[in-house]
Amino acid sequence: MALTRCKELFGSDFEKLTKAKVLILGVGGVGSFALDCLYKSGIRDITIVDYDSYDTTNQNRQIGALGNEGKLKTKVLKELYPKITTINQKMDLAWVESFDFEPYDIVLDCADTTKVKVEVAKKCYKKLIMSLGSAKRYDFSKIEVSTIFKTHGDALARKIRNELKKAKFNKKFTVIFSTEEPKVKEKGSFVGVTGAFGLAICSEAIKKILS
């Protein structure tokens, strides 16, 4: 992949992208688009962590889902993006506690579990970009980038803020969130928003790397 247009855009800074080391936690509707964006921008040293298999319900929003029902996400994405490293692992509190985040320049949290997200923030907030609630919405223009304690209108963000406050944790880290009111109570989702979250996270990651 020549990536000529990226090289023209980033100029001498393109080398910084090729040397960056990125960790993506969760490669579903948000994380798979972040992966695609990073890979197509010249970043190859990417490690993805996920344990799930594709289901028919993933087809509306996840890269790699079409025609791959029952297959592990990590295996399919390794075939699509051969330079990446994959970890097929369920992310729970014990895993977060034991995992070494130190080697990575950027950590992208696209996981779903509140407690896991809180513990990840505690361990690596300085290099963290976190995805918050992207499901149940369809207006991408409501997506915002801020820090966790400046979020509003997002139930997941509120839960995380409350948990961090209980833990007396007040450090800032970057988050992507939406101010749009959820349109359904259950599991509705739209790739125009979940994918946009992933692309926004990729953009923020590249800005951090280049700075």
Q: Is the pTM above the cut of 0.85?
A: yes
For 61, 89, 178, 187, the CA distances from 151, given in Å and listed in that order, are 25, 30, 9, 22
What's the distance, Cα to Cα, between the start and end of the chain in Å?
25
**Could you tell me the residue ranges of all domains in the chain?**
4-132+185-210
Distance between CA atoms of residues 21 and 42, nearest Å:
11
pLDDT of the residue at 186: 85
For 23, 27, 68, 107, 131, the CA distances from 120, given in Å and listed in that order, are 12, 16, 30, 9, 12
Distance between CA atoms of residues 137 and 35, nearest Å:
22
Q: Which CATH number is correct for 4-132+185-210, 3.40.50.720, 3.20.20.70, 3.40.50.300, 3.40.50.1970?
A: 3.40.50.720
Give the DSSP letter of residue 140: G
For 67, 87, 88, 147, 177, the CA distances from 191, given in Å and listed in that order, are 17, 25, 24, 24, 15
Are the CB atoms for 30 and 110 separated by under 8 Å? Answer: yes
Distance between CA atoms of residues 40 and 15, nearest Å:
14
pLDDT (tens, 9 = 90+) of the chain, 211 residues, equals 689 999 999 999 999 999 999 999 999 999 999 999 999 999 999 999 999 999 999 999 999 999 999 999 999 999 999 999 999 999 999 999 999 999 999 999 999 899 999 999 999 999 999 999 888 899 999 999 999 999 998 999 999 999 999 999 999 999 999 999 999 988 899 999 999 999 999 999 999 999 9
Burial grade of 75 (CB within 10 A; 0-12, 13-18, 19 or more):
middle
Burial grade of 128 (CB within 10 A; 0-12, 13-18, 19 or more):
buried
Count of other CB atoms within 10 angstroms of residue 152:
10
pLDDT of the residue at 1: 63
